[in-house]
Amino acid sequence: MPLQPIFERKNILVTGGAGFIGSHLCELLVKDAHVICVDNFITSSLSNIDHLLRNPNFEFINHDIIQPLDLDSLTELERFKVRFQGIQEIYHLACPISKRYFDDFKIATVLTNSIGVKNVLDIAVKYHAKMLYASSSVLYGSRQPGKTQYVETDECHIDHLTPRGAYDEGKRFSEAILQTYTDVYGLDVKIARIFRTYGPRMKLFDGNLIPDMVLSALDNKDIVIAGDEDARTSLCYVTDVVDGLSRLMSTPIDVTLLNLGSDQDLRLTSVAQEIMRLTGSGSRVRFEPPFAHYIEAGLPDITRAREILGWMPLMRLEDGLRQMIDYSKSHKHLIKGII
């Protein structure tokens, strides 16, 4: 077996690195590696990575990944010696996502989930890099009667012709592209199906469940739940998910697909009550019919993640919600002023 070159620090590419999960991932990786963050801010924010821009082991590239990316040609990457060292790992998280303004980004979403994935895979082939793709729990469809948890071998059940097809089917098609490149080029590709994640740097005023609940509680407005008193979800704190992504990247080539998320089934009314308690809010809970094509995701079976990665979510819900509340308090006026 040929010897692999040893570098003081790996060169790691993170697409979508200025997003919610991506920025936390860059924050973790830059401790031990050179991190090249690629984003075009279509649904992310410079403020998420502002604290990293002064780090000599971090470089930001403003680029839309649906266009080819030639890392060798970028003078700002010369200090990472990309031409000589190449890229060792790629985390592909880039995908426009906005709950409230989803229709505004449909074309960008479907192109990112097809051409964008192909462009990133071409980079992986060029540098013989390991690649991890951030997929989604939406592939399992809505939870079914009598079935609460979903394992990686369960079939995907989504309607690709709904208004959300650009994202839902896009994620499934992305996985197919990844598997095809693995078969043809022998790439080491990892796929993480990520379940509902929350924490600081989530987009506020964008229709996301936990931020909306927190903002309503802070303003003493009704907390709206789509569904009835039995509506449920799982919640995994962002740093736990990032830890899982990092661990998955380090696994052998025969490990491909893993669920990452919390397997605790939470009633949304209980989550709302906890947020009201932590904020001292006088809000009420109000129920509304779910919007069309709403998916009430099931829970991840994380047996494989426990056995292979030694991973499980560690953040207590109360502590995670406190972090989300603190972030919302400090950012809601700044963000509301520019939307």
* Burial of 54: CB neighbours in 10 Å, binned 0-12, 13-18, 19+: exposed
CA 208/CA 23 separation, integer angstroms? 18
CA 6/CA 102 separation, integer angstroms? 44
Among 22, 336, 49, CA closest to 197? 22
Could you report the average pLDDT of every consecutive run of 10 residues in the chain (339 residues)?
67 98 98 98 95 97 97 96 96 92 90 97 98 95 84 87 88 96 97 97 94 97 91 96 98 96 96 98 92 77 97 98 97 61
pTM assigned to the model? 0.94
CA neighbours within 13 Å on the CB side: how many for 143?
18
Q: What is the pLDDT of residue 338?
A: 40
φ, ψ of residue 142 in degrees (nearest 5):
-70, 150
Q: Which CATH architecture has domain 10-197+236-262+292-315?
A: 3-Layer(aba) Sandwich (3.40)
Instruction: Give the catalytic positions in this structure.
Output: 167
